[in-house]
A and B are shown apart, each in its own frame.
Chain A
């Protein structure tokens, strides 16, 4: 399941909703990305972050990434929630939850979902600080993390 929304999310409530009625689940992993007030890329300490996205393509990409995770690991259920709009340091940005019978699949799939989301879901961050406002530049390390997963594991085995 995927959702793109302005509102905050409640991690506990999201996990409880995923668990409800799914008693084959033995392992749940969640990842939460939050806004940090570290030095921005030339803006000084970040005081505000705005997330823009491409409505339509965002949902399509998140669904594609999620489907890919389910093709690679035996997941009972998964969830991706990504926020848009203007956020403050400490605010939640993204939630990924994966649930499987055993922990390995849940851990690996959660990392995979984040690595893929970072390089292919059409979101753009703009940071604001005392020295101005600037679009965040993509990191080469995110691209490397994405490449780490290719090709599909079960296709090679």
Chain B
């Protein structure tokens, strides 16, 4: 699964994109964030305030309880501030 990080989430993880094998028991966006937090201090810091982080599954906004099964690309980012 391809994971993308933007804005301060990217700065904190230290990477913009990566391909990862997500454990089979990780079923939702919230569970994926909880699992990512266990991958080292950078990730623990980046996902410390997971409740404020937004996610997109295959380039469409997704809630934290959305299922991630079958997703090709999941992105994590702060609330948007364009315009």
Give chain A's interface residues, CB within 8 Å of chain B. Answer: 33, 51-54, 56-57, 60-61, 82, 93-94, 114, 117-126, 135-138
Are B59 and A123 in contact, CB atoms less than 8 angstroms apart? no
Are A135 and B8 in contact, CB atoms less than 8 angstroms apart? yes
Interface flags for B18-34 (1: CB within 8 Å of A; 0: not) read 00000000000000000
Are B83 and A122 in contact, CB atoms less than 8 angstroms apart? no
* Residue B40 CB within 8 A of the other chain: no
Question: In the complex, how many residue pairs between chain A and chain B have their CB atoms under 8 Å apart?
Answer: 71
* Residue B6 CB within 8 A of the other chain: yes
A54-B56, A57-B75, A60-B60 known; A138 vs B81 contact (CB < 8 Å): yes
B interface residues, how many (CB within 8 angstroms): 16
A54-B4, A124-B6, A135-B7 known; A119 vs B80 contact (CB < 8 Å): yes
* Residue B70 CB within 8 A of the other chain: no
Contacts of B81 in A (CB 8 A): 118, 123-125, 135-138
Are B80 and A120 in contact, CB atoms less than 8 angstroms apart? yes
Are B4 and A117 in contact, CB atoms less than 8 angstroms apart? no
What is the bound-complex CA distance between A110 and B59, given in angstroms?
A: 24
* Residue B63 CB within 8 A of the other chain: no
CB<8 Å pairs between A and B, sample of 13:
A52-B6, A57-B56, A60-B60, A117-B82, A118-B80, A119-B79, A121-B82, A122-B6, A123-B81, A123-B82, A124-B7, A124-B80, A135-B81
Are B82 and A51 in contact, CB atoms less than 8 angstroms apart? yes
A94-B83, A123-B82, A138-B78 known; A56 vs B59 contact (CB < 8 Å): yes
What is the bound-complex CA distance between A61 and B83, given in angstroms?
A: 13
Are B82 and A54 in contact, CB atoms less than 8 angstroms apart? no
> In the complex, which residues 26-65 of chain B have their Cβ closer than 8 Å to any Cβ of chain A?
56, 59-61
Contacts of A122 in B (CB 8 A): 6, 56, 75, 77, 80, 82
Are B82 and A118 in contact, CB atoms less than 8 angstroms apart? yes
Are B82 and A94 in contact, CB atoms less than 8 angstroms apart? yes
What is the bound-complex CA distance between A7 and B8, given in angstroms?
A: 25
Are A125 and B77 in contact, CB atoms less than 8 angstroms apart? no
Contacts of A126 in B (CB 8 A): 7
What is the bound-complex CA distance between A53 and B77, given in angstroms?
A: 10
